[in-house]
Amino acid sequence: MTDSKQTPAPADLPVWTFRGYAMKPSEFNTAMVHFYRAEIQRANTWRNRLDATTNWAIITASAAITFALSDSTHDHAVLLINLVFLGVFWFIEARRYRYFELWSYRTRLMETDFFAAMLVPPFQPSPTWAEALAGSLCKPKFSISLLEALGRRLRRNYFALFGILLLVWVFKVASQPQPVATWDEFVIRAVIGPVAGVWVLFALAVFFVALVGLAVGTLGLQNASGEVLPSLWRDAT
């Protein structure tokens, strides 16, 4: 007489049990697929928010340039004021970039160590990827600092916008209402209200030196790796 109890096939073995409910591998994979889709949607949402912030910066810069150059009597200070607006958008975009990197970090963990592991023998993820993903879910934290986010968005978008505004400001001061003949005349024209032109130029120099310093100083920060995150199992070998 044979035993009626049979050893379950590997496909029927539960991979997760909680309060009497046993999740089969197929159910686990289905849950992971839906979770991956949800994280991709989150990443896309914040990616669109990044693009929206950049668009705001481009629109305000274009409006300021158009206004300043449309009439020789328009004050060049509007271009410098727009530098402040660009700085605000830059900060907002850096903050949004940190959220985008959080969702990208999770999706890349699943791509490199769950889905990719299905394609390459021995068909199993690294022993650390699940802990890393669970840790990000249980205790969410930004994968990059605000300083690194500011540096990345500055190099990718805002340094060009700041530079264009500076060049337009120089052109505005040097050519309208008529071209300047000497450097002293340029300095006199750079005056903004009670602020002497020499102090305006000094403030601009300090500002752009700080921008260059931030852009160069954050080149070595490489924690923002959500889009190019190396797989954990490859790093562990």
| pLDDT, tens digit (0-9, with 9 covering 90-100), for 72-122 | 888 889 999 999 999 999 999 999 898 888 888 888 888 877 787 777 777
CB atoms within 10 A of CB 78: 15
pLDDT at 120: 75
pLDDT at 3: 46
Residues contacting residue 104 through CB under 8 Å, at least 6 positions apart: 43, 226, 227, 229
pLDDT at 201: 93
Q: Is residue 193 part of a domain?
A: yes
Supply the range of the domain harboring residue 166: 14-224
Residues contacting residue 39 through CB under 8 Å, at least 6 positions apart: 103, 106, 107, 110
pLDDT at 79: 92
Q: Is residue 171 part of a domain?
A: yes
Q: Is residue 192 part of a domain?
A: yes
In the predicted model, what is the mean pLDDT of residues 10-27?
A: 66
pLDDT at 144: 85
pLDDT at 108: 82
Question: Mean of the per-residue pLDDT values for the chain?
Answer: 82
In the predicted model, what is the mean pLDDT of residues 131-152?
A: 84
Q: Is residue 182 part of a domain?
A: yes
The share of the chain scoring above pLDDT 70, in percent, equals: 84
Q: Is residue 235 part of a domain?
A: no
In the predicted model, what is the mean pLDDT of residues 139-156?
A: 88
Q: Report the candidate in 78, 48, 85, 237 with the shortest Cα–Cα distance to residue 172.
A: 78
In the predicted model, what is the mean pLDDT of residues 180-191?
A: 89
In the predicted model, what is the mean pLDDT of residues 181-204?
A: 90
Q: Is residue 141 part of a domain?
A: yes
The yes-or-no verdict on residue 163 having pLDDT over 90 is yes
pLDDT in tens, 44-73: 888 888 889 999 999 999 999 999 998 888
pLDDT at 233: 43
Number of domains composing the chain: 1
Q: Is residue 174 part of a domain?
A: yes
The share of the chain scoring above pLDDT 90, in percent, equals: 30
Token pair of 103 as six digits = 């969702």
pLDDT at 20: 65
Residues contacting residue 115 through CB under 8 Å, at least 6 positions apart: 36
pLDDT at 235: 45
Q: Is residue 233 part of a domain?
A: no
